[in-house]
Structure 1
């Protein structure tokens, strides 16, 4: 009996079902993971192999929990749904709890120096986070509605990713202006720069998470926003591999996996830096000297730029995330592309560009600046989250006023 027949006989008719697995693509993805594992081991040993496979697990978890980092803000602004917001607070609470002892006791599996995702407070942070939020709403190819269900969603995603890569590189070129030329304040830890210590800072952040959850429930009771749409699923044990997980499961798993990344490489999960590196390396191969850009002057960044890709932990980790997501899509029969309207492609490109540019000048995006930043007790992360929400709200208002995007 095929997987499709099992779904049709046992799942709720109101829930969409996944298509048959794309086995050839799944095997291809596994072979690529094994090949990269070999090269990663040759270049950097067991540490990077572990990072690659943790990345695969992250990609697998992101897909199956449908855990949207981008759309949580969009849901608040567009529909008022706060279900994903509560899941985020749970995830951040778990991550904060796990990060605190790692930072306090300098826990590292491979004797790396433990460094949280702390960044300065600058004009680039404020402007970049706003641009990221604006672009995220404008080019919604990374939102669940487009990525998982909408016609042409995968095509739109490719446009968004290309725009993101381009924006990230140009953001690196302008990085010095936004963060060095204009006024800025040094990184600020709620734990070590306030006298609270990690236990005190944990208590403050836990109280904030709890308050947000309580307010979201009050809002839900008063406004009764629409529920999140049903997602493709399966039954029984197949739900682990093929179906959708509860949001709280995704939140828990992602928090644990981010802490695992922290212990392995000495710093938590970051995403944007990989795109900036890949795009800059491409320009170098085309003959452009990017090493003089202010972004690459920092010692750890210039080393990554000059060394082979398999010796960069951020790249290896995020290759794993991409491949883990790819295999999850193939298992669900979801690798498919279709034509999209020209104006939607332009919106996806432009939105992706703003996201990449904004993320680079603001020291990260939903992963490095928000998820890992807040879990690392960095003040800049809270500022980033606020400005990103304002950016989403502004883009939604503009789009609604001028009818730019059809939902």
Structure 2
């Protein structure tokens, strides 16, 4: 490994808001999930609790501190740790279903786990046994990995200016990040940083490491409590034991990109499921029948019945494609070949296309079917649309159609990166 020369420290304007401190490590070990069935059962139990207060957390931008602790201590943050290292290693179809269930209750909480689970998958792919043992042990005991991947001013999502330099048994990281979901309440922060060959590594730093500043400046109109913001990295020391060669996950066919993507799919499916459920509940209990319908209840309106049927079918189709993609990822993880990885990427792209469509459609149709009173601030139903519109912008779905079409027409496999 060769390292880049020491860069200048990042320029931090005087008016940058103060960073926020990180959380304490858990005082007790996290639960370890036994199998796929328990993972689903635990997710359903947590979701029943998380949905309470979700609207208020959105409206007032309240951090889900207690909910996040319950989530990571439940064992659901280590469900893709391999069995050989003491983890449950559930199917990726199950992992996606877990995120869908949590996201239907509160999609910000569902999204917070995304990069943690993706980094756990990457460690399995690229790390040596000693590093795997070290970092998987952290996940199993309840340590949360955040992220400091994307950069606000880069020309493309996969381009980075953050670098690291040699410092004996450590490296020093310098740069500036944004879109850092989960970083505020993470225990460790994986930072994407480049060596002098332009290769991307995950430098996994302590959340309160000197020089690592997380600023609570996320201001999007949706996914308000994903604990994201600006991360400033000023000579942050990271032990080389925590320097993960992430680039190796994309210099040959692996399922790493599809794994990051299927979790995005699951967040959108969860948002859609919540919107369909809210529509049905509102139409049944609060909406009025239209004057020309000839029926007493809004739920007997034939046009409303048809529209709810359409949304339900499309939601079930998205869920089916998500499950299919999860099983394709399982096969690619077990036997990563060009063919198995492409199959996983394509299946996930198809699921991403449909999950985006149903998330936008369901959150928009809610108001048409529920009627004018559904727009009242007291209901805060617009949070579903705001969350869907914000989260589905994570990567352009039009490119999912492109890679599926290019493979079907020309036999071209999808590119290998974290967005494919």
Q: Same fold (TM over 0.5)?
A: no
Scaled by the length of structure 1, what TM-score is found? 0.23
Q: Which has the higher contact order (CA 8 A, sep 6+)?
A: 1
Scaled by the length of structure 2, what TM-score is found? 0.22
Higher Rg of the two aligned structures: 2
Q: Write 1 or 2 for the structure with the bigger share of helix.
A: 1
